[in-house]
Amino acid sequence: WQDVSSPDAAARSKLSCGHAVFAELFKMVPAAKNLFTRVNVAEINSPEFNGHVMRVMGGLDILINYLDDIPTLESMLDHLAGQHAVRDGVTKAGFGAMATVLMKSMPQVVEGFNPDAW
């Protein structure tokens, strides 16, 4: 994960990693694209969708950095769940799909990816 979030190339690497994650999601669950119309998913390289990708990757980065502080991590995850609960079509199963997507897409963009660390 350090390769993706390092300050030297953080924006570029987070964006390319995020695009790989969403490409895998849309390949695995094509209907998932319907959940992202408000961020212009029809234009995958649009500023709106790129902004969404960066917010998702930034959130993931924050969560990863709190893996050793479970109470805070759980609080952040509860907040994230609340933000998504109000969005039509977003389900708990969808978050499970995202976990699978991360495990499939990360080896494509993270050199020396270690699935055991995840």
pLDDT in tens, the chain (118 residues): 565 566 655 667 889 889 999 999 999 999 999 999 999 999 999 999 999 999 999 898 899 899 899 999 999 988 888 888 788 888 777 778 888 998 998 888 777 888 887 7
What are the binding residues for heme b? 79, 83-84
Domains and CATH numbers, the chain: 2-106 (1.10.490.10)
Residues contacting residue 89 through CB under 8 Å, at least 6 positions apart? 34, 35
Q: Report which DSSP code applies to 118.
A: -
Task: Give me the sign of the Cα torsion angle 72, 80, 9, 3.
Answer: positive
Q: Do 9 and 111 meet the contact criterion of CB atoms below 8 Å apart?
A: no
Tell me the torsion sign for CA atoms 51, 53, 59, 64. Answer: negative
Nearest C-alpha neighbor of 58 from the set 106, 5, 94: 5
7 in helix, strand or coil? Answer: coil
Give the annotated binding-site residues.
Answer: 79, 83-84
pTM: 0.81
